[in-house]
Amino acid sequence: MSSPTIGSFLFDYLHSKGVTHAFGIPGDFALPTFRWLEKSPIKLITLTHEPSVGFAADGYARVRNGIGVAVVTYCVGGLNMLNSVACAYAEKSPLLVISGGPSPNDRKTDPLLHHKVRTFDTQRRIYEEVTCANTVLLDVETAAEEIMRVIDAVELHCRPGYIEIPYDLVDLPITLPIRKNTPSPVSDADNLAACVEDALVQINAAKQPVIIADVELHRHNLTDLAVAFAEKANIPIASTLLSKSVISEQNPLYIGVYSGGLSEKAVQDYVEQSDCVIMLGAFITDVFLGMNSAQLDRKQAIVMTTEKSRVGLRSYDNVQFRDFLEAINQAPLTPKPDRATPRPAPVPAPLADHERNTPLSIESFFRILGLHLPADGTLVCDTGDALLGAIGLRTGMRNTFLSDAYYLSMGFAVPASIGAMAANPDSRTFCVVGDGAFQMTGTELSTTAKYNLAPIVFVLNNDGYGTQRHILDGAFNIITMWDYAKIPELIRYGKGCRVSTAGECEAAIKAALADNTLHVIEVTIPRDDCSASLRRLGEELGKLRDIEKRS
């Protein structure tokens, strides 16, 4: 383009990075930006509430393994979306926030402009806490360089960035940037060599090493290197709740999900009895540690991430994660002999005739879902048993399981499913959400109607905030009962049903798979039923949150 504007340059640059869709809600400060977005090759999906915009863009980024874009207006939009951007920051998802903003002239005269909070810079300063780079484009001379700086930082760090565009500058011609040759970070050669040498000694000496493959492998396109290392050394691989499906769950080396005491017992025992736990890209959080129920010895652990490199109790500065994986693959690894390892859950047994009238439980629901989940299906799970109940469910392909399994924000799954469908329209999306979480963002099913999307949505109705009930119960965990099966009537799109037995659930899933439209399946679960993992989670958190249990 001979004389691009700020708006056209921004969206052309994002398109050059592989962005195909953006998500947003228009507002007056952002309307000129939305007009440039509509003129661009990027398709726009508008939603009903700003938190959902962030979750949808995050879901898109995770499935696409690229940048997700969220476009909102000043403060009332941007600050409303803050929680979902915080989720992306906490879980290292590359999300770009584009916000409309006031004019530079407004900033000079300091009027009491609508949407303004304290100062004109309030929104940007708040976003500093949940972004790796941010800017307000107040100068057309530097705007292009600022756009590229923020977007490149989002790509490099896999964390959100923030660009605020004054409504009267987005249409102005931009000064094209001079591209700078910025070299990629490199490792300190001596530190890298020492790190690999020490890791090699520990791995080769180990009798029962195990790899925990976590989400940074996916975020930074390092999964293939990690799998090559595991296969070369014949070392079993576990995932975490956050990284479930990052490693193919059909890989012969895969043993299941590790999350301390929330894990299946065979997986927990194997990992915690290991004499060399190799954590690749791991978020060592309380969820990873099963609410601190894990028993892992730091002296026998190797931890490699984009932020730290550690072998036992020794740390190594300036060692790049990719460089370590490439070097360890070239090192003289001694392949481990085959040994008995935990096996992931096999394909569930088909329902027997006598089971069809059995009332549904969390366990039987996920068994039936596992029977019918297509190999190329995408599964998006919300917080609570919608997530923990799926620990033993095996996905068919890499990167087909989404959850916010560290940040654990209720309301993630429905809007994230919309982002997942935009990122991979050829995969049928299955969304599993509790009734409490559904009431937070379930209105986004009207967005599926607007764009003719066809997710299969399971609302696990156990009459309230089931996760909280197992931690500390009270009247505060009661919610209003909705008729979830009638949601399609409300939005005039799709089909709904309520199921309470195993046979009804299976029939509903089969009907949904045969029909290319939205299906809302209300799954009636007994009030006090839960997975074994959620029960253990409630016990551990209850000891911390409930004074009666503490005493």
Q: Is 208 a residue whose pLDDT tops 60? A: yes
Lowest mean pLDDT among 56-60, 269-273, 362-366, 392-396: 392-396
In a domain, 183, yes or no: no
34 within domain boundaries: yes
Beta strands 301-304 and 309-311 are antiparallel
Whether residues 27 and 64 share a domain: the answer is: yes
* Residue 222 DSSP symbol: -
- Reading phi first (left if > 0) and then psi (alpha if -120 to 50, else beta), residue 234 is in left
**Per-residue model confidence as pLDDT tens digits over 28-53:** 999 999 999 999 999 999 999 999 99
Domain contains 368? yes
Binned at pLDDT 50, 70 and 90, residue 180 comes out as confident
Contact (CB, 8 A) for 520 and 457: yes
**What's the pLDDT band for 525 if we cut at 50, 70, 90?**
very high
What is the rounded average pLDDT of the residues 4-27? 97
In this prediction, residue 551 has a pLDDT band, given cuts at 50, 70 and 90, of low
Residue 243's identity, in one-letter code, is S
Q: How many domains does the chain have?
A: 3
Whether 508 and 362 have beta carbons less than 8 Å apart is answered as no
Q: For 371-404, what is each residue's pLDDT tens digit? A: 999 999 999 999 999 999 999 899 989 999 999 9
Whole-angstrom distance, CA of residue 291 vs CA of residue 333:
34
111-134: average pLDDT? 93
Q: What pLDDT band is residue 175 in, cutting at 50, 70 and 90?
A: confident
Same domain, 264 and 308: yes
Q: How far apart are CA 111 and CA 99, in angstroms?
A: 20
pLDDT tens figures, 300-332: 999 999 999 999 999 999 999 999 999 999 999
Kindly state whether residues 237 and 308 are assigned to the same domain: yes
Together in a domain, 302 and 357: no
User: In this structure, are 228 and 283 located in the same domain?
Assistant: yes
Measured CA to CA, the distance from residue 397 to residue 110 in angstroms comes to 54
Task: Please tell me the predicted confidence (pLDDT) of residue 2.
Answer: 58
Q: Which residues pair with 457 in a beta bridge?
A: 431, 520
Alpha helices in 17-72 (DSSP H): 31-39, 50-64
Residues 286 and 242: beta-carbon distance below 8 Å: no
Please report the pLDDT score of residue 477 as a whole number: 87
Interatomic CA distance for residues 513 and 510, integer angstroms: 5
Please say if the pLDDT value at position 550 is more than 80: no
Residue 339 lies in a domain: no
Calpha distance 215→32 (Å, rounded): 37
For residue 92, give the nearest of 185, 212, 216 by alpha carbon.
216
Domain boundary among 131, 166, 201: 166
What backbone phi and psi angles, to 5 degrees, belong to 443?
Answer: -60, -15
The position carrying tokens 């393994």 is: 65
Provide the CATH number for the domain around residue 85.
3.40.50.970
Transcribe 442-471 into DSSP letters: GGGHHHHHHTT---EEEEEESSS-HHHHTT
Looking at the structure, tell me whether residues 209 and 317 fall in a common domain. Answer: yes
Give residue 541's pLDDT band: very low, low, confident or very high (50, 70, 90). Answer: confident
**Domain membership flag for residue 179:** no
CATH number assigned to the domain comprising residue 281: 3.40.50.1220
DSSP letters for 170-182: TTSB-PPP-----
Cα 253 to the chain's mean position, in Å?
Answer: 24
Residues 317 and 453 in one domain: no
Straight-line distance from the first to the last Cα atom of the chain, in angstroms, rounded to the nearest whole number:
70
**Model pLDDT for residues 477-511, shown as the tens digit of each residue:** 889 999 999 999 999 999 999 999 999 999 999 99
**215 and 124: one domain?**
no
- Asked whether residue 489 falls in the same domain as residue 395, the answer is yes
* Claim to verify: residue 385 and residue 522 sit in the same structural domain: yes
Least confident span in 16-20, 177-181, 202-206, 510-514? 177-181
Contacts of 221 (CB under 8 A, 6+ apart): 65
Does the pLDDT at position 228 exceed 50?
Answer: yes
Determine, yes or no, domain membership for 503: yes
Does residue 524 lie within any of the structural domains? Answer: yes
In sequence order, what DSSP letters do the residues of 85-151 get, joined into one string? HHHHHHTT--EEEEEEE--HHHHHH----TT--SSTTHHHHHHGGG-SEEEE---TTTHHHHHHHHH
Integer CA distances (angstroms), 269 to 12, 289, 537, in order = 51, 13, 18
Count of beta carbons in the 10 Å neighbourhood of residue 207: 10
Supply the pLDDT for residue 466: 87
Cross-strand partners of 309? 304
**Whether 217 and 359 share a structural domain:** no
Domain membership of residue 138 (yes or no) is yes
Distance CA 407, CA 409 (A): 6
Please tell me whether residues 406 and 489 are part of one structural domain: yes
Domain with 26, as residue range(s), is 6-166
Positive or negative torsion for Cα 33, 60, 410, 551: negative
Reported pTM: 0.95
At 1, the pLDDT band (50, 70, 90 cuts) reads very low
Q: At 459, phi and psi to the nearest 5?
A: -100, 110
With a cut of 50, say whether residue 57 has pLDDT above it.
Answer: yes
* DSSP-derived 3-state class of residue 528: coil
123 vs 133: CA distance, rounded Å: 14
* Interval 275-291: pLDDT, tens: 999 999 998 888 888 77
Please, what is the average pLDDT of the chain?
Answer: 94
Output the pLDDT for position 172. 95
With bands split at pLDDT 50, 70 and 90, how would you rate the model's confidence at 242? very high
Pairwise CA distance, residues 78 & 401, whole Å: 28
> According to the model, what pLDDT value does residue 549 have?
75
Of 134, 166, 198, which residue constitutes the final position of a domain?
Answer: 166
Token output for 512: 């949904």
